Amino acid sequence: MPTRRELVAGLAAIVGEKNVLWRPEDLIVYEFDGTVETQRPHAVVFPDGAGEVASVVRLCNQWKMPVTPRGAGTGLSGGSVPHRRGVVVATARMRRILEIDPVNRIAVVEPGVPNIQLSEAVAQHGLFYAPDPSSQKACTIGGNVAENAGGPHCLALGVTTNHVLGMEVVTAGGEVVWLGGRVAETPGYDLRGAFIGSEGTLGIVTKVVARLMPMPETVATLLAIFETVEEASLAVSSIIAAGMIPAAMEMMDRLTLQAAEAGLQCGYPPDAGAVLLVELDGIAEEVESQVARARAECLEHGATEIRLAIDAEERELLWKGRKGAIGSLGRIMPNYYILDGVVPRSKLVEVMAKVNAISARYDLPVANVFHAGDGNLHPLLLFDDRVPGAHAKVLEAGAAMMRACIDAGGALSGEHGIGFEKQQFMPWLYSEADLENMARLRPVFGNQGDFNPCKLLPGGTGCGEMAQQASAVRAAGPDAYV
């Protein structure tokens, strides 16, 4: 293990002194993502290009120094938290759009490009990039690849893996390789597909070939207002059963609506029990027909009012509230813990009732905002981390909610990934043989245990004492290795 001076000098020799952070006051902002867990790295490095990334990885491997890849740090499962400290490799300098090919509908970008900037750059060609996480103004394409990110508009079009054709990656062993290519189908094993969603445990993406989509001719956005979440949930199943796959179908409950309206003034009815945001797109005649059918299904299942956005400005305002709703919950409590379970649409009502029962049992307010169309729930447990015992209580309640999703035939994650947060829950879904076979993929890419450790698969030694380690680091001082 190198001294701090040796570590900083070695990294600076690769990327330049100004692109290495090591002082405690600089490292603080790299010790967390969007979850409730924290851990401070020994250093943060900002390479520029695959060559520098590979050199950093090889140096860390030589020193057996843990490596944690990081995009914008907007992740919601602890994926970019350096749980065994070491070096964080941040891709913030790699944010160039290298090529736009409107004829073949592809773009080649670096991993640090913010998600929304890709769609903005190709809009002049009548194209867009489909995956649109709620954090799309900040989250990066590289982070989206690592987590196989989704978003509200992925109901009909699919998530990141459906829109990435190929990637240049630096493996955990420090090799630069290409996975996939510039076309949809390539021969051989789908290593591209294995890498997407591997949560930084196999390597770091350094270039991405993204598939672009043509902008739809017509877009219509409905806001359906209900007295209860149960009625809105039944409307979701009914719309799908009627043969429609909307571009998006999002639900927010009363607590979420109240916070979003107070903070963003989007025209939401704060006294409603729930609202359903339904977006339909395509050929004008087809969209007009689907709007009528979706309206009828909502009314049949108890909608008290249905609003149709009259123009792009009003539609954007409705989506502003949906995508900014989570941040608005800070008006109610200083902290939130967001979950990411998936259930069959037919079990939405049943599981939502269990979520509310768990909220009451632990005396923790819960706000619900989720991708109702594909059964991807996002209960947000609201709490104050300054209250003794609150942190442990919210994690216990969250585990109970995830268990309810699994018991209903669901999954542990729809888009946020497993990360550190849910890795110990993986045996709920997979046998020991399943997990062992997944783990066998890591050495193929050169990961011998130090590349984004304690993520995705159930952790081993050193992966369960993060809170104690963080406390020890602060007590020991900035120059101590703990």
The band of 444, judged by pLDDT with boundaries at 50, 70 and 90, is very high
Q: What local confidence, expressed as pLDDT, does residue 474 receive?
A: 39
> Same structural domain for residues 247 and 313?
yes
Q: Which of 179, 214, 249 is the last residue of a domain?
A: 214
Tell me if 426 is assigned to some domain: no
Region 113-128: what's the mean pLDDT? 98
CATH of the domain at 196: 3.30.465.10
> Same structural domain for residues 324 and 373?
no
Q: What's the pLDDT tens digit per position in 28-56?
A: 999 999 998 999 999 999 999 999 999 99
> Same structural domain for residues 227 and 324?
yes
Region 354-381: what's the mean pLDDT? 96
Tell me if 435 is assigned to some domain: no
- The 3-state secondary structure of the chain, one letter per residue: CCCHHHHHHHHHHHHCHHHEECCHHHHHHHCCCCCCCCCCCCEEECCCCHHHHHHHHHHHHHHCCCEEEECCCCCCCCCCCCCCCCEEEECCCCCCEEEEECCCCEEEECCCCEHHHHHHHHHHHCEECCCCCCCCCCCEHHHHHHHCCCCCCHHHHCCHHHCEEEEEEEECCCCEEEEECCCCCCCCCCHHHHHCCCCCCCEEEEEEEEECEECCCEEEEEEEEECCHHHHHHHHHHHHHCCCCCCEEEEEEHHHHHHHHHHHCCCCCCCCCEEEEEEEEECHHHHHHHHHHHHHHHHHCCCCEEEECCCHHHHHHHHHHHHHHHHHHHHCCCEEEECCEECCHHHHHHHHHHHHHHHHHCCCCEEEEEEHHHCEECEEEEECCCCCCHHHHHHHHHHHHHHHHHHCCCECCCCCCCCCCCHHHHHHCCCHHHHHHHHCHHHHCCCCCCECCCCCCCCCCCCCCHHHHHHHHHHHCCCCCC
Tell me if 430 is assigned to some domain: no
> Same structural domain for residues 105 and 80?
no
Number of domains in the chain: 4
Tell me if 315 is assigned to some domain: yes
> Same structural domain for residues 115 and 210?
yes
> Same structural domain for residues 196 and 226?
no
Q: What local confidence, expressed as pLDDT, does residue 469 receive?
A: 42
Tell me if 57 is assigned to some domain: yes
Q: What local confidence, expressed as pLDDT, does residue 186 receive?
A: 81
> Same structural domain for residues 281 and 344?
no
Q: Which of 372, 400, 418 is the last residue of a domain?
A: 418
> Same structural domain for residues 314 and 356?
no
> Same structural domain for residues 27 and 121?
no
Region 343-362: what's the mean pLDDT? 95
Q: What local confidence, expressed as pLDDT, does residue 460 receive?
A: 64
The band of 475, judged by pLDDT with boundaries at 50, 70 and 90, is very low
Region 161-172: what's the mean pLDDT? 98
> Same structural domain for residues 21 and 52?
yes
Tell me if 436 is assigned to some domain: no
The band of 482, judged by pLDDT with boundaries at 50, 70 and 90, is very low
Tell me if 432 is assigned to some domain: no
Residue 254, domain extent: 216-332
CATH of the domain at 75: 3.30.43.10
Q: What local confidence, expressed as pLDDT, does residue 459 receive?
A: 79
Q: Which of 314, 332, 350 is the last residue of a domain?
A: 332
Tell me if 107 is assigned to some domain: yes
The band of 465, judged by pLDDT with boundaries at 50, 70 and 90, is low
Q: What's the pLDDT tens digit per position in 381-399?
A: 999 999 999 999 999 999 9
> Same structural domain for residues 307 and 318?
yes
Average pLDDT, the chain: 94
Q: What local confidence, expressed as pLDDT, does residue 481 receive?
A: 40
> Same structural domain for residues 226 and 284?
yes
Over 70: is that where the pLDDT of 93 sits? yes
Cα separation of 155 and 172, whole Å? Answer: 32
